[in-house]
Amino acid sequence: MTVRQKPVGEQVVVITGASSGIGLATARLFAARGVKGLVLVARNEDALRKIAEELEEQGVHAVPVAADASKREELEAVSRKAIETFGGYDTWVNDAAVALYGTLDEIPIPDQRQLFEVNYWGVVYGSLIAARHLRARGGTIVNVGSVLSERAILLQTQYSAAKHAVKGFTDGLRMELEQEGAPIWVTLIKPSSIDTPYVEHARNYLGDNAKVPPPAYDPDLVAKAIVFASENRRRELTIGFGGWVIGAMGKVAPRLTDKTMEMMGYGAQTTRQPERAGMRDNLYQPREDGDTHSSLDTMTRKTSVLLAAQIHPLATAAILAGVGAAVAALLLPIGASSAPRRRQPLRRFQPVVRKNGNGHDKRSYGPGHLAGRDASVRPPQVRH
């Protein structure tokens, strides 16, 4: 069966983690693209209601549904609400996540389990619920992973492990749906460091406040990738070359990457800048929400050449080919031609006229050559 993806203007989209950061940026971009309907999901009911009102003023039907992504029965209720309100949905975005900062021996096991309940099991529950509905309707499941699914980072080991698990689950789900012929596409989104309230929402066991390691990218770039994936089949989309490089280095030179991250891991992820106290620690309960960006003074990149290359692969290939041709033309010597040169005939050995010491000119072929000598002066041959 052929995968069916509608244009954004004809879609109803469910977004978990929609009260802040990437989820909120995605909801706003879907609204700007004229989406038919939005189902906004998060634990913070007050924040969701305000966001829904904001989007309704733009002419988009947005329904807030308070739910905990770590509880399957609550996500089941989200699906039912979407079907009751809109008759169904076309794209389900699993974005809800929590964060921990600290070493493994400092973070209590219950906290580590809770992170997996949200970051991994929340994706599993949402994906299975969405797949059940979309088997008859067709559509897209978008799972928000991380570049940390390719390379773990110090002080966020459990977050990295959960994102590794999300990648494995997403790949397996995609293959199963494809094998059964379901009209559903599954895309994994892998952001690099993104400037969102993620670090302020984290439960932090460090002595300093947390920050995302540079370079940091704007959450609108991730939203762009998610909205694109809802209409176009892409296996994975990575946002931010900086994060991609770390993953690539980990494959090519794992021990060198280990040492580099060990030296820079703490300093790259901590700051003395003050953070909003009302946002701190949403591991078990919702906290202050409603912002797409953090309050930290962070240099944020608004563009990602890597993402653009994945969205427009043919145009990128044509541009690279053109650049390569231009560089080759510059490197070729002036007047050089690609036509094969005519082979020159071999020249016979030409004698060299030399000046002999007695002032008489005669042709000489060099020592040991008798061909140029007079036959009369040749030494007599020995007869036997």
Question: Is there a contact between 201 and 279 (Cβ–Cβ < 8 Å)?
Answer: yes
Strand order, beta sheet including 37-42: 61-66, 37-42, 12-16, 91-94, 139-144, 184-191, 236-239
State the maximum Cα–Cα separation within the chain, in Å, rounded to a whole number.
Answer: 125
Residue 205, amino acid: Y
> 276-287 burial, b for 16+ CB within 10 Å, e for fewer?
eeebebbbeebb
Measured CA distances, 127 to 25, 207, 302, 334 (Å): 21, 37, 30, 60
**Which residues are known catalytic residues?**
159
DSSP state of 148: G
Least Cα distance to 115 among 97, 93, 102 occurs for 97
Residue 17 to residue 22: CA distance in whole angstroms: 8
Cα angle value 162/207/215 (rounded, 5°):
55
Q: What are φ and ψ of residue 237, in 5° steps?
A: -135, 120
Cα–Cα dist 170/147, whole Å: 14
Contact 27, 15 (CB under 8 A): yes
State the virtual CA torsion across 220, 225, 231, 233 in degrees, nearest 10: 180
C-alpha span between 52 and 48 (Å, rounded) = 6
Helix (H/G/I), strand (E/B), else coil: 357: coil
Q: Phi/psi of residue 182, each to 5°?
A: -70, 140
Place of tokens 């820079």: 264
Distance in angstroms (rounded) separating the CA atoms of residues 114 and 120: 10
| DSSP classification of residue 140 | E
- Cα distances (angstroms) measured from residue 100 to each of 104, 192, 199, 304: 10, 17, 9, 27
